[in-house]
Amino acid sequence: MLLLVGLGNPGPEYADTRHNVGFRVIDEIVARHGFEPWRSRFHGLISKGKVDGVEALALKPMTFMNNSGVSVSEAARFHKIDKGDIVVFHDEIDLAPGKLKAKRGGGSAGHNGLKSLEGHLGADFRRVRIGVGHPGERGRVVGYLTNARFDDEDEKWLEPLVDAMVDSIALLQGENGDARFTNKVALLTKPPKAKKDSDDEDDA
């Protein structure tokens, strides 16, 4: 069983902000794969379902970002889920918008949600880093993540990326799942190659 975790902050004031992109991915997984209705458990919202035959739990911690580890560790212990089957979706300012990286383990890179998870679980869980870009100045990072919402221009890369991730979730299961997932998402979001216009070439 996979435990699919989206990191974010609860409340309408944080909806659609960059720091909540993990929530958005989890919401789409639950909606499009027909998961059960959300229930309040483990200091969060949890839903159960299957993705292409793979059993999965979806979890959105309601503890605020800095205490996400409380919710995730409780759910993992109760359901006896190995850390290698915990997949955490989160924003990453050090990746360009629309870029994605998936791996097991690693550092927190200053991300408070990951710091909390590492404090409760250790570092050996899996992460899907979703690039949201950097505001350019360190002092603007907090406001950029928690206050700035995705706009219409952002949606041009964000919507296809989320769609590709949701369509590829089942690939995360098993050995080398991170690489299979990343490659599939990259393939699905790759811009189409420009076609040569043979008529124009003939007229030249």
Name residues whose C-beta falls within 8 Å of residue 29's C-beta, 6 or more positions apart in sequence: 4, 35, 51, 56, 58, 166, 169
State the pTM of this model. 0.92
More confident residue, 155 or 109: 155
Sequence spans of domains, the chain: 2-203
**Arithmetic mean of pLDDT, 55-78:** 97
Say whether pLDDT at 36 is over 80.
yes
How is domain 2-203 classified at the architecture level of CATH? 3-Layer(aba) Sandwich (3.40)
Q: What is the mean pLDDT of the chain?
A: 93
What would the mean pLDDT of 101-123 be, rounded to a whole number?
A: 94
C-alpha to C-alpha distance for 120 and 69, rounded to whole angstroms: 6
Which of the residues 19, 33, 90, 111 is marked catalytic?
A: 19
Helix axes 112-121 and 68-78, enclosed angle (nearest 10): 40
Q: Is the predicted pLDDT of residue 125 greater than 50, yes or no?
A: yes
What does the pLDDT read at residue 204? Answer: 44
Annotated catalytic residue 19: yes
pLDDT tens-digit map of 144-175: 999 989 999 999 999 999 999 999 999 998 88
pLDDT surpasses 50 at 80 = yes
